[in-house]
A and B are shown apart, each in its own frame.
Chain A
Amino acid sequence: MPSTQVNPTRMELTRLKRKLVTARRGHKLLKDKRDELMRRFLELVKENKELRKKVEKGIAEANKNFALAEAVMSGEAVKTALLAPKQSVSVEASSKNVMSVNVPVFDYKTRTADRSDIFSYGFASTSADLDAAVSSLAEVFPDMLRLAEVEKSCALMAAEIEKTRRRVNALEHVMIPDYMEKIHYISMKLDENERSTQIRLLKVKDMMIQKNFEAKHKNDA
Protein backbone atom coordinates (compact mmCIF):
# COMPACT_ATOMS: atom_id res chain seq x y z
CA MET A 1 0.00 0.00 0.00
CA PRO A 2 1.36 3.43 -0.83
CA SER A 3 2.05 5.48 2.26
CA THR A 4 -0.08 8.38 1.10
CA GLN A 5 -3.21 8.26 -0.94
CA VAL A 6 -2.67 8.80 -4.67
CA ASN A 7 -5.23 9.46 -7.33
CA PRO A 8 -5.28 6.49 -9.69
CA THR A 9 -5.38 8.61 -12.81
CA ARG A 10 -3.34 8.54 -15.95
CA MET A 11 -2.09 12.05 -15.34
CA GLU A 12 -0.80 11.11 -11.92
CA LEU A 13 0.87 8.06 -13.40
CA THR A 14 2.77 10.10 -15.98
CA ARG A 15 3.76 12.61 -13.34
CA LEU A 16 5.07 9.87 -11.04
CA LYS A 17 6.94 8.16 -13.85
CA ARG A 18 8.67 11.42 -14.68
CA LYS A 19 9.53 11.89 -11.00
CA LEU A 20 10.96 8.40 -10.81
CA VAL A 21 13.24 9.06 -13.76
CA THR A 22 14.49 12.26 -12.12
CA ALA A 23 14.99 10.51 -8.81
CA ARG A 24 16.97 7.73 -10.47
CA ARG A 25 19.19 10.20 -12.28
CA GLY A 26 19.70 12.22 -9.10
CA HIS A 27 20.55 9.08 -7.22
CA LYS A 28 23.17 8.10 -9.75
CA LEU A 29 24.74 11.55 -9.81
CA LEU A 30 24.83 11.82 -6.03
CA LYS A 31 26.29 8.36 -5.75
CA ASP A 32 29.07 9.30 -8.15
CA LYS A 33 29.65 12.49 -6.21
CA ARG A 34 29.86 10.57 -2.96
CA ASP A 35 32.30 8.04 -4.35
CA GLU A 36 34.59 10.68 -5.81
CA LEU A 37 34.45 12.79 -2.66
CA MET A 38 35.27 9.74 -0.63
CA ARG A 39 38.27 8.93 -2.79
CA ARG A 40 39.67 12.43 -2.46
CA PHE A 41 38.84 12.55 1.21
CA LEU A 42 40.76 9.38 1.96
CA GLU A 43 43.78 10.71 0.09
CA LEU A 44 43.57 13.95 2.02
CA VAL A 45 43.14 12.24 5.35
CA LYS A 46 46.26 10.23 4.77
CA GLU A 47 48.19 13.42 4.12
CA ASN A 48 46.53 15.06 7.09
CA LYS A 49 47.70 12.33 9.43
CA GLU A 50 51.25 12.42 8.18
CA LEU A 51 51.40 16.19 8.39
CA ARG A 52 49.94 16.18 11.87
CA LYS A 53 52.51 13.70 13.08
CA LYS A 54 55.27 15.81 11.58
CA VAL A 55 53.94 19.07 12.99
CA GLU A 56 53.35 17.64 16.44
CA LYS A 57 56.87 16.32 16.51
CA GLY A 58 58.25 19.64 15.27
CA ILE A 59 56.36 21.64 17.86
CA ALA A 60 57.43 19.33 20.65
CA GLU A 61 61.01 19.80 19.49
CA ALA A 62 60.61 23.57 19.41
CA ASN A 63 59.05 23.59 22.85
CA LYS A 64 62.01 21.66 24.13
CA ASN A 65 64.34 24.23 22.67
CA PHE A 66 62.35 27.05 24.17
CA ALA A 67 62.52 25.38 27.56
CA LEU A 68 66.25 25.07 27.12
CA ALA A 69 66.56 28.73 26.19
CA GLU A 70 64.55 29.72 29.20
CA ALA A 71 66.78 27.65 31.40
CA VAL A 72 69.87 29.44 30.20
CA MET A 73 68.41 32.94 30.05
CA SER A 74 65.91 34.31 32.50
CA GLY A 75 62.29 33.86 31.56
CA GLU A 76 61.88 37.60 31.51
CA ALA A 77 64.77 38.05 29.10
CA VAL A 78 63.25 35.51 26.72
CA LYS A 79 59.91 37.26 26.84
CA THR A 80 61.46 40.67 26.21
CA ALA A 81 63.45 39.30 23.32
CA LEU A 82 60.25 38.13 21.64
CA LEU A 83 58.18 41.09 22.73
CA ALA A 84 58.45 43.09 19.56
CA PRO A 85 58.19 40.76 16.61
CA LYS A 86 60.00 41.89 13.52
CA GLN A 87 58.15 39.64 11.19
CA SER A 88 54.46 39.44 10.52
CA VAL A 89 52.64 37.01 8.32
CA SER A 90 49.49 37.56 6.38
CA VAL A 91 47.56 34.84 4.69
CA GLU A 92 46.01 34.95 1.29
CA ALA A 93 42.98 32.71 1.45
CA SER A 94 41.42 31.61 -1.78
CA SER A 95 39.13 28.70 -2.24
CA LYS A 96 39.22 25.67 -4.43
CA ASN A 97 36.15 23.83 -5.57
CA VAL A 98 36.43 20.09 -4.97
CA MET A 99 33.21 18.37 -6.08
CA SER A 100 31.19 21.43 -5.08
CA VAL A 101 32.85 21.69 -1.70
CA ASN A 102 34.69 24.96 -1.32
CA VAL A 103 37.92 24.17 0.43
CA PRO A 104 40.36 26.90 1.42
CA VAL A 105 43.80 27.34 -0.05
CA PHE A 106 46.24 29.32 2.03
CA ASP A 107 49.26 31.16 0.83
CA TYR A 108 51.24 33.13 3.31
CA LYS A 109 53.25 36.28 2.84
CA THR A 110 55.74 37.72 5.25
CA ARG A 111 56.11 41.41 5.80
CA THR A 112 59.80 41.44 5.10
CA ALA A 113 60.97 39.80 1.93
CA ASP A 114 63.25 37.35 3.67
CA ARG A 115 61.16 34.65 5.27
CA SER A 116 63.93 33.63 7.59
CA ASP A 117 64.15 37.14 9.00
CA ILE A 118 62.65 36.06 12.27
CA PHE A 119 65.08 37.09 14.97
CA SER A 120 63.58 40.10 16.62
CA TYR A 121 66.45 40.68 19.03
CA GLY A 122 70.09 41.47 19.14
CA PHE A 123 72.27 38.41 19.35
CA ALA A 124 74.48 39.90 22.06
CA SER A 125 72.16 39.58 25.00
CA THR A 126 70.42 36.32 24.15
CA SER A 127 71.62 32.76 24.20
CA ALA A 128 72.11 30.66 21.13
CA ASP A 129 69.45 28.28 22.41
CA LEU A 130 66.81 30.88 21.75
CA ASP A 131 67.97 31.19 18.15
CA ALA A 132 67.74 27.43 17.81
CA ALA A 133 64.26 27.44 19.34
CA VAL A 134 62.96 30.17 17.06
CA SER A 135 64.45 28.64 13.95
CA SER A 136 63.12 25.18 14.81
CA LEU A 137 59.67 26.69 15.10
CA ALA A 138 60.16 28.49 11.80
CA GLU A 139 61.06 25.16 10.25
CA VAL A 140 57.74 23.53 11.06
CA PHE A 141 55.77 26.61 10.11
CA PRO A 142 55.20 25.81 6.40
CA ASP A 143 53.98 22.38 7.45
CA MET A 144 51.70 23.96 10.00
CA LEU A 145 50.12 26.12 7.35
CA ARG A 146 49.66 23.18 5.03
CA LEU A 147 48.17 21.27 7.96
CA ALA A 148 45.66 24.06 8.51
CA GLU A 149 44.65 23.86 4.86
CA VAL A 150 44.39 20.08 4.76
CA GLU A 151 42.66 19.69 8.09
CA LYS A 152 40.06 22.30 7.28
CA SER A 153 39.47 20.68 3.89
CA CYS A 154 39.03 17.31 5.55
CA ALA A 155 36.50 18.67 8.01
CA LEU A 156 34.49 20.38 5.28
CA MET A 157 34.60 17.36 3.01
CA ALA A 158 33.57 15.03 5.82
CA ALA A 159 30.51 17.18 6.43
CA GLU A 160 29.67 17.19 2.73
CA ILE A 161 30.15 13.42 2.41
CA GLU A 162 27.83 12.86 5.33
CA LYS A 163 25.18 15.04 3.73
CA THR A 164 25.57 13.40 0.33
CA ARG A 165 25.43 9.94 1.83
CA ARG A 166 22.19 10.75 3.55
CA ARG A 167 20.71 12.04 0.33
CA VAL A 168 21.81 8.95 -1.57
CA ASN A 169 20.32 6.69 1.07
CA ALA A 170 17.09 8.65 1.23
CA LEU A 171 16.68 8.39 -2.53
CA GLU A 172 17.67 4.76 -2.68
CA HIS A 173 15.68 3.43 0.24
CA VAL A 174 12.74 5.80 0.56
CA MET A 175 11.96 7.94 -2.45
CA ILE A 176 12.55 5.49 -5.28
CA PRO A 177 10.76 2.49 -3.70
CA ASP A 178 7.90 4.78 -2.76
CA TYR A 179 7.52 6.04 -6.31
CA MET A 180 7.72 2.53 -7.69
CA GLU A 181 5.04 1.34 -5.33
CA LYS A 182 2.76 4.22 -6.23
CA ILE A 183 3.27 3.62 -9.93
CA HIS A 184 2.52 -0.06 -9.44
CA TYR A 185 -0.61 0.78 -7.48
CA ILE A 186 -1.89 3.19 -10.12
CA SER A 187 -1.21 0.92 -13.06
CA MET A 188 -2.93 -1.96 -11.29
CA LYS A 189 -5.89 0.22 -10.52
CA LEU A 190 -6.08 1.47 -14.09
CA ASP A 191 -5.91 -2.08 -15.46
CA GLU A 192 -8.62 -3.11 -13.08
CA ASN A 193 -10.81 -0.22 -14.20
CA GLU A 194 -10.24 -1.15 -17.81
CA ARG A 195 -11.24 -4.72 -17.19
CA SER A 196 -14.37 -3.75 -15.36
CA THR A 197 -15.33 -1.42 -18.21
CA GLN A 198 -14.79 -4.22 -20.65
CA ILE A 199 -16.94 -6.60 -18.62
CA ARG A 200 -19.66 -3.97 -18.32
CA LEU A 201 -19.65 -3.53 -22.08
CA LEU A 202 -19.86 -7.26 -22.63
CA LYS A 203 -22.75 -7.51 -20.20
CA VAL A 204 -24.58 -4.65 -21.85
CA LYS A 205 -24.00 -6.21 -25.24
CA ASP A 206 -25.34 -9.55 -23.97
CA MET A 207 -28.40 -7.85 -22.58
CA MET A 208 -29.02 -6.08 -25.88
CA ILE A 209 -28.67 -9.27 -27.85
CA GLN A 210 -31.00 -11.03 -25.45
CA LYS A 211 -33.56 -8.23 -25.81
CA ASN A 212 -33.33 -8.27 -29.60
CA PHE A 213 -33.69 -11.99 -29.62
CA GLU A 214 -36.75 -11.92 -27.38
CA ALA A 215 -38.34 -9.13 -29.42
CA LYS A 216 -37.78 -11.09 -32.60
CA HIS A 217 -39.30 -14.20 -30.99
CA LYS A 218 -42.40 -12.30 -30.00
CA ASN A 219 -42.81 -10.94 -33.51
CA ASP A 220 -42.48 -14.37 -35.01
CA ALA A 221 -45.01 -15.83 -32.60
Chain B
Amino acid sequence: MYKMAAIGDRASVYGFAALGLDTYFVTAADEAKKLMRRLADGDYAVIYITEQLAELIKDELADLSEAQLPAVIPIPGVYGNTGMGMRAVNESVIKAVGSDIV
Protein backbone atom coordinates (compact mmCIF):
# COMPACT_ATOMS: atom_id res chain seq x y z
CA MET B 1 0.00 0.00 0.00
CA TYR B 2 1.36 3.36 -0.98
CA LYS B 3 0.56 6.84 0.16
CA MET B 4 0.12 10.08 -1.71
CA ALA B 5 1.59 13.45 -0.90
CA ALA B 6 1.27 17.06 -1.98
CA ILE B 7 4.13 19.43 -1.39
CA GLY B 8 4.47 23.14 -1.99
CA ASP B 9 3.62 26.39 -0.33
CA ARG B 10 0.89 26.26 2.30
CA ALA B 11 -1.77 28.09 0.35
CA SER B 12 -1.41 25.84 -2.69
CA VAL B 13 -1.59 22.46 -1.04
CA TYR B 14 -3.48 22.67 2.23
CA GLY B 15 -6.73 21.83 0.51
CA PHE B 16 -5.42 18.39 -0.43
CA ALA B 17 -5.39 17.43 3.23
CA ALA B 18 -9.17 17.24 3.07
CA LEU B 19 -8.92 14.56 0.40
CA GLY B 20 -6.63 12.50 2.58
CA LEU B 21 -3.28 13.29 1.01
CA ASP B 22 -0.28 13.97 3.21
CA THR B 23 0.62 17.59 2.83
CA TYR B 24 4.04 19.11 3.39
CA PHE B 25 4.58 22.82 3.39
CA VAL B 26 7.93 23.76 1.90
CA THR B 27 9.14 26.72 -0.08
CA ALA B 28 12.94 26.60 0.12
CA ALA B 29 14.84 24.60 -2.47
CA ASP B 30 17.25 22.73 -0.18
CA GLU B 31 14.45 21.86 2.20
CA ALA B 32 12.41 20.59 -0.72
CA LYS B 33 15.32 18.48 -1.95
CA LYS B 34 15.68 16.80 1.41
CA LEU B 35 11.97 16.18 1.67
CA MET B 36 11.82 14.82 -1.86
CA ARG B 37 14.57 12.34 -1.14
CA ARG B 38 12.85 11.25 2.05
CA LEU B 39 9.49 10.81 0.33
CA ALA B 40 10.98 8.93 -2.60
CA ASP B 41 12.57 6.46 -0.22
CA GLY B 42 9.35 6.21 1.76
CA ASP B 43 6.25 4.47 0.52
CA TYR B 44 4.84 7.21 -1.63
CA ALA B 45 3.55 6.34 -5.07
CA VAL B 46 2.33 9.73 -6.20
CA ILE B 47 3.74 13.07 -5.18
CA TYR B 48 2.11 16.26 -6.39
CA ILE B 49 4.41 19.24 -6.31
CA THR B 50 3.65 22.86 -7.13
CA GLU B 51 5.22 24.08 -10.33
CA GLN B 52 7.07 26.86 -8.53
CA LEU B 53 8.78 24.38 -6.25
CA ALA B 54 9.38 21.86 -9.04
CA GLU B 55 11.23 24.54 -10.96
CA LEU B 56 13.62 24.96 -8.05
CA ILE B 57 14.52 21.30 -7.70
CA LYS B 58 14.50 20.30 -11.36
CA ASP B 59 17.66 18.19 -11.13
CA GLU B 60 16.32 16.08 -8.28
CA LEU B 61 13.13 15.44 -10.21
CA ALA B 62 15.06 14.44 -13.30
CA ASP B 63 16.80 11.75 -11.24
CA LEU B 64 13.45 10.45 -10.10
CA SER B 65 11.88 10.40 -13.53
CA GLU B 66 13.72 7.19 -14.49
CA ALA B 67 12.38 5.22 -11.54
CA GLN B 68 9.04 3.50 -11.77
CA LEU B 69 7.86 4.94 -8.48
CA PRO B 70 7.15 7.54 -7.27
CA ALA B 71 5.38 9.53 -9.95
CA VAL B 72 6.17 13.17 -9.35
CA ILE B 73 3.53 15.35 -10.94
CA PRO B 74 3.79 19.13 -11.13
CA ILE B 75 0.53 20.98 -10.52
CA PRO B 76 -0.21 24.69 -10.70
CA GLY B 77 -0.13 26.49 -7.38
CA VAL B 78 -2.16 29.46 -6.22
CA TYR B 79 0.21 31.88 -7.88
CA GLY B 80 -0.88 30.78 -11.29
CA ASN B 81 0.07 28.36 -13.96
CA THR B 82 3.67 28.59 -15.11
CA GLY B 83 3.13 26.09 -17.89
CA MET B 84 5.92 23.94 -16.55
CA GLY B 85 3.80 20.80 -16.38
CA MET B 86 2.83 21.09 -20.03
CA ARG B 87 6.44 21.81 -20.95
CA ALA B 88 7.52 18.62 -19.22
CA VAL B 89 5.08 16.65 -21.36
CA ASN B 90 6.42 18.30 -24.50
CA GLU B 91 9.94 17.53 -23.41
CA SER B 92 9.15 13.85 -23.17
CA VAL B 93 7.72 14.00 -26.70
CA ILE B 94 10.91 15.59 -27.94
CA LYS B 95 12.93 12.95 -26.15
CA ALA B 96 10.95 10.15 -27.76
CA VAL B 97 10.27 11.46 -31.23
CA GLY B 98 13.15 13.83 -31.78
CA SER B 99 10.99 16.84 -32.38
CA ASP B 100 7.84 18.37 -30.97
CA ILE B 101 5.12 17.02 -33.20
CA VAL B 102 1.96 16.95 -31.08
Contact = CB atoms under 8 A, between A and B. Distances in A.
Same assembly: yes
A127 B95 CA distance: 47
Interface residues of A, number: 61
Contact of A56 (B3, B15, B76, B102): B76
B39 interface: no
A119 interface: yes
Interface of A: 38, 41-42, 45-46, 48-49, 52, 55-56, 59-60, 62-63, 66-67, 78-79, 82-83, 85-93, 95, 102-104, 106, 108, 110-111, 118-120, 133-134, 137-138, 141, 144-145, 147-149, 151-152, 154-159, 161-162, 165
Interface residues of B, number: 39
B53 to A, nearest CB: 15
B75 A104 contact: no
19 contacts: A38-B97, A45-B89, A62-B15, A79-B14, A86-B20, A87-B20, A89-B20, A92-B2, A93-B2, A103-B68, A118-B20, A137-B19, A138-B19, A144-B73, A147-B73, A151-B73, A156-B66, A158-B92, A161-B97
A55 B75 contact: yes
A91 B1 contact: yes
Interface centre among B12, B73, B85, B102 (most CB of A within 10 A): B73
Contacts of A85: 17-20
Contacts of B57: none
Given A118-B18, A148-B71, 17 more contacts: A38-B96, A59-B75, A66-B15, A85-B18, A85-B19, A87-B19, A90-B2, A104-B69, A120-B18, A133-B15, A137-B15, A138-B19, A141-B19, A145-B46, A151-B73, A152-B68, A159-B95
